Structure 1
Amino acid sequence: MRIIRFFLMLTILVLAGCQNTQSNSAEELDDELSGDAYLAKEYIEEQGYEVVSFEGKRFTYTLTEELLKELPYRLYWNLPGNNPEKAMNKNVTVYTFIVRNHPLAHYNDGEQTAAEETVIAIHVAENEVVAGTSSPIFEIETDGGEIWNIHGEK
Structure 2
Amino acid sequence: MKRIIVLFLVFIIAGCNNQLNDNKQQSEMEEDKNIDIAKNYLEELGYDVISYETKGSLLFTKSDLLDLPGEQIWGVQYTEPDNFLNKEINTVSFMVKNHPLDNLFNMGKTNATVLIFNEEVIGGWSFPHSKEPLIGAFYSIDGKTMEEIHGDLQKWRDEWENKYKN
The letter of the residue matching 1:150 is I
2:137 maps to 1:146: yes
TM-score, structure 2 length as denominator?
Answer: 0.63
Provide the residue aligned with 1:118 in structure 2: 110
Q: Distance in 1 between matches of 2:92 and 2:79?
A: 15
Q: Distance in 2 between matches of 1:115 and 1:95?
A: 21
Pairs within 5 Å for 1:4-153: 34-57=32-55, 59-107=56-104, 113-138=105-130, 140-153=131-144
Q: Percent identity?
A: 30
Q: Distance in 2 between matches of 1:114 and 1:124?
A: 30
Count of aligned positions = 115
Runs (4 or more) in structure 1 with deviation over 4 Å come to none
When the two chains are superposed, the root-mean-square deviation of aligned CA atoms in Å is 1.7
Q: 3-state SS of the aligned residue for 1:121?
A: strand
The letter of the residue matching 1:152 is G
In the TM superposition, residue 122 of structure 1 has moved relative to its aligned partner by 0.8
- Where structure 1 has 5 or more consecutive residues not aligned to the other structure, the ranges are 1-32, 108-112
- Where structure 2 has 5 or more consecutive residues not aligned to the other structure, the ranges are 1-30, 146-166
The letter of the residue matching 2:143 is G
Q: Distance in 2 between matches of 1:114 and 1:147?
A: 18
In the TM superposition, residue 88 of structure 1 has moved relative to its aligned partner by 2.5
Larger Rg over CA atoms: 2
- Bigger Cα displacement from structure 2, 82-91 vs 43-52: 82-91
TM-score, structure 1 length as denominator?
Answer: 0.68
